[in-house]
Amino acid sequence: EDQVTQSPEALRLQEGESSSLNCSYTVSGLRGLFWYRQDPGKGPEFLFTLYSAGEEKEKERLKATLTKKESFLHITAPKPEDSATYLCAVQDIASGTYKYIFGTGTRLKVLA
Amino acid sequence: GAGVSQSPSNKVTEKGKDVELRCDPISGHTALYWYRQSLGQGLEFLIYFQGNSAPDKSGLPSDRFSAERTGGSVSTLTIQRTQQEDSAVYLCASSQMTGTYEQYFGPGTRLTVT
């Protein structure tokens, strides 16, 4: 069964304190792994899509990496505006469908 | 341009009543997804539509839940005989097509069943 597990559940960082969020996944065949950011009271906002092990993508202070079992979202020198819940999702090519399986997210709080 | 819109933004209903939630996707997007997000939980897939193909209903939790998409645009999620456990935020997303295209989410409808 497809599964996505994110850790930690919550993370508090000081401004400028770099860290990483983890997304472990189990699928028969990965079509894509997706990162989204969700602010309170809003819908998720797309960040990255990763397709194969070894791939990396960057956007401002965020960098996403992918292995065959997990993905990391690295946050370099975070700012308070990076505070949000970060969601990871996968699509399993073997499922024959295009549904997304989401993890429960990591709630990030960056303190000034 | 306009993003995905959902209405109502909040809905309070009594147990046993039926509710309809509406989603207006981005114009031209052929794929439309519905999700449910309970407090502190991730997004639970409910159903997706892709063009004129039969929808994937595999995530609907019971036969009280149904959805339709008229004219390949607006979608309505209907919950019949609502139960307290149906209380959640219902999110809609659209994308150019199914596959690994970026999903654009609406702001959600917060449903409270009393």
> What is the CATH number for B35?
2.60.40.10
Under 8 Å CB-to-CB from B63, ≥6 apart: which residues? none
Residues of chain B with C-beta less than 8 angstroms from the C-beta of A103: 42
- Which residues in chain A have their CB less than 8 angstroms from residue B44's CB? 102
**What residues of A are in contact with residue B106 (Cβ under 8 Å)?**
43
CB contact under 8 A, B58 and A49: no
> Quick one: DSSP state of residue A95?
G
Residues with Cβ < 8 Å from B16, sequence gap 6 or more? B81, B82
The fold for domain A3-111 equals Immunoglobulin-like (2.60.40)
Confidence bin at B39 (pLDDT 50/70/90): confident
Number of folded domains that form chain B: 1
- Length of chain B as a residue count: 114
* pLDDT(A82) > 90: yes
Element spanning A12, H or E: strand A10-14
Per-residue pLDDT, B62: 96
Q: So what's the pLDDT on residue B1?
A: 59
User: Above 90 in pLDDT, residue B57?
Assistant: yes
Higher pLDDT, A10 or B97: A10
Q: Give how far A9 is from chain B: nearest CA, Å.
A: 10
What is residue B97's predicted lDDT score, i.e. its pLDDT?
A: 81
